[in-house]
Amino acid sequence: MIDLFSGLDAWVLVSLLLALTFVLAFEFINGFHDTANAVATVIYTKAMPPHLAVFFSGVFNFLGVLLGGVGVAYAIVHLLPVELLINVNTGHGLAMVFSLLAAAITWNLGTWYFGIPASSSHTLIGSILGVGLANAMINDIPLGDGVNWQKAIDIAMSLVVSPLAGFAVAALVLIGLKWWRPLSKMHKTPEQRRKLDDKKHPPFWNRLVLVISAMGVSFVHGSNDGQKGIGLIMLVLIGIVPAKFVLDLNSTTYQIERTRDATLHMSQFYQRNEATLGEFLALGKAKSGDLPAQFSCNPQQTEPTIAALQSSLKGVTDYHDLSADKRVEVRRYLLCLDDTAKKVGKLPGLDAREKSDLDKLRKDLTATTEYAPFWVIVAVALALGLGTMVGWKRVVLTVGEKIGKQGMTYAQGMSAQITAACAIGMANVFALPVSTTHVLSSGVAGTMVANKSGLQGGTVKTILLAWVLTLPASMGLAAGLFWLASKALA
């Protein structure tokens, strides 16, 4: 990590430290903003004391970030179009990073202050989209090219479908529990338990399930939301000090060889499917010298790009041996080849086995660009874990008492938490960012409907309003800030 600071101008160093502070502040706020949802039911049902609940939730968030990988992190990064990611420079990177972070932090703090379970995921994604669209308008790029719309659509589907699934599945789980044991004490609220049984805590087995499921939600929240912070830090590092982070400088000789071999196999793949892909890729037509220094990712330039990448990596066993400019160049080639491969994978005419082979080649191709240093993962894990331990009270009250017209029963808490843990865990498997807030809140709402408790219209309207407004508000705020920053740098 010490190498990060060597040889940097003073203003770049200050900007870098400030940007990293902003990201970690966002994750800290995310901790007490979103993770309150993970402990809301376990605290409200008195399954755990608040201080223990938030402590262990913080620990499991920390572990979730450490063990969660980087799939979701780069799903967030690749919301930005590949053209914006390959043409990085310090000033542009600073404007991009500070604009989206300032917008996300502002909206998160505002919704937390009013106790609204709004989504940090929506906020961050909206901010990234706002920066991408503003960049397109400033540089006269078509709006259709300003954002990676296919990735945006995939993420939007996961953000829309996950709370609807949470609502339905949690309701079905509760109905199943009521059918299985209709007279069980798990169908009591904490208040009824205290008045009728003169006991403070849930029955043992209910308490155990509530605690385990709450820690499960905390773990998957860390592995999903924590990765968003990792993605942000990688955007910061690549945007401000690209020479040190565009490639994983700790890559082994074997990993570099895998990358080099992937380009060779990709070339063979395209030649093998020339009848289907020849026109799309202009196979045999483009010349190796056709690539400009600042090139756009064009499928018609695939063959020259592969040739240039193989030439750049010839004989390389350590990325440290490449000059700073050469590292940036290699990353551009890799990102462009990956972008083209994604487009090729969506073309008709390729059979399922060929598409599967292409996906494997893409993983080998990006193995040394889609990474995160260990210190980044630990820093985000600490920020999220520590944030979990403060500021939880506002959202706990909303989730426990203000969504339904009656208090939450133990069975409702279990149903909502088990559903949330499974839904977010599945999203992690497919590297899709989802909102812990929306999945859990909708799960609670589903159990209230299934329990015929009714919903509090005011709270539900407020949550839905935040859900609808978060994306456009954060997009507008980030776009405005990026426009101002770009004008100041012009």
Query: What integer pLDDT is reported at residue 33 of this predicted model?
Result: 66
Query: What integer pLDDT is reported at residue 404 of this predicted model?
Result: 53
337-340 long-range contacts, CB within 8 A, separation 24+: 337/263, 337/266, 337/302, 337/305, 337/306, 337/309, 337/365, 338/362, 338/365, 338/366, 339/82, 339/297, 340/281, 340/297, 340/299, 340/302, 340/305
DSSP β-bridge partners for residue 455: 404
- Of 303, 295, 224, the C-alpha closest to 263 is 303
Residues of the chain with pLDDT under 50: none
Are the beta carbons of 368 and 255 closer than 8 angstroms?
Answer: yes
Burial 359-368, CB ≥16 within 10 A → b, else e: eebbebbbbb
Query: Strand (E) positions, 254-375?
Result: none
Task: Provide CB contacts within 8 A for 430, sequence distance 6+.
Answer: none
> What average pLDDT does the structure give for the chain?
83
**Three-point CA angle 78, 245, 250, nearest 5°:** 115
pLDDT digits (tens, 9 = 90+) for 354-412: 888 999 999 899 889 999 999 999 999 999 888 877 755 655 555 555 565 667 889 99
Are the beta carbons of 335 and 368 closer than 8 angstroms?
Answer: no
Q: pTM of the prediction?
A: 0.83
Spatial distance between the Cα atoms of 158 and 156, rounded to a whole number of angstroms: 5
Query: What integer pLDDT is reported at residue 268 of this predicted model?
Result: 92
**Cα dist. 173→109, 204, 480 in Å?**
33, 20, 44
Query: What integer pLDDT is reported at residue 398 of this predicted model?
Result: 54
Tokens of 351: 């059979």
Tokens of 298: 């064009």
